[in-house]
Amino acid sequence: MAQQRGRVVLVTGAQQGIGRAMAIAFAAAGYDVAVNWLDDARAADAVAEAVRAQGRRAALLRGDVSATAEAAALVARTIAELGRLDVLVNNAGIFPRVPFLEMDEAEWDRVIAVNLRGSVFCAQAAARAMVAAGTPGCIINLASRALSGAPLGVHYSASKAGIAGATRAMALALAPHRIRANAIAPGLTDTAQPRHGHSEEEIRAMAAAIPLGRIGRPGDIAGLAVFLASDAASWITGQTYHINGGSLMP
């Protein structure tokens, strides 16, 4: 795949896991990277150093995407520090497990605020900047295999199903401006997230049940994101890509 030198990507929630892998993969593809983080400065610094080690610029941007003003500020700071914005990856998300009969309104509101509202308003801010600059762009939203249902995550499943629907609507709204929007729905992936509420033995059992026989790697997801942002995907918009080793085939 051709190098995309001169382009800039903002990755939210990039301090760890899939976000970290995406930031590094985009750097390897020639992008300068705005690394959004929230609560682990040391981990974020390490991601920025990994980006710079590949000869690309990195901007470290602390911010909570659930606050609409902060979401807009992340886009503005990306442009101020790196000069432009070509790609937004809405990766930031939370998945606090809770039985449905015990879930309260505050837990619901927090998950929707981070996962769905945060993604929508980050995308809005990014699209406004792209339109103002008169440049084409790409928005990649992170959905999840759990959009098909997670018994300990009614709030999470709702947020990720909302991401899929919002992505289709964004794609239609932004197509006249040459801005594409797609979503990626990862399955079980080797990050910290599945370890909240699951033992290593349980994770191994879930991995064994996947048709391709293993848990996903963050790099599996990152590779698809880089492709969707590239010129090779210039006629792809409004799609949700399920990447899960065959565990869900919608």
Which residues carry out catalysis?
Answer: 156, 160
Phi, psi angle pair for 211, to nearest 5°: -50, -40
Pairing of strands 137-142, 179-186: parallel
String of DSSP letters for 175-220: GGGTEEEEEEEE-SBSSSGGGSS--HHHHHHHHHTSTTSS-B-HHH
Q: Hey, CA dihedral for 12, 210, 29, 48, is it positive or negative?
A: positive
Q: What is the b/e burial string over 121-131, where b = at least 16 CB atoms within 10 angstroms of the residue's CB?
A: bbbbbbbebbe
**Strand, coil or helix: what is 92?**
coil
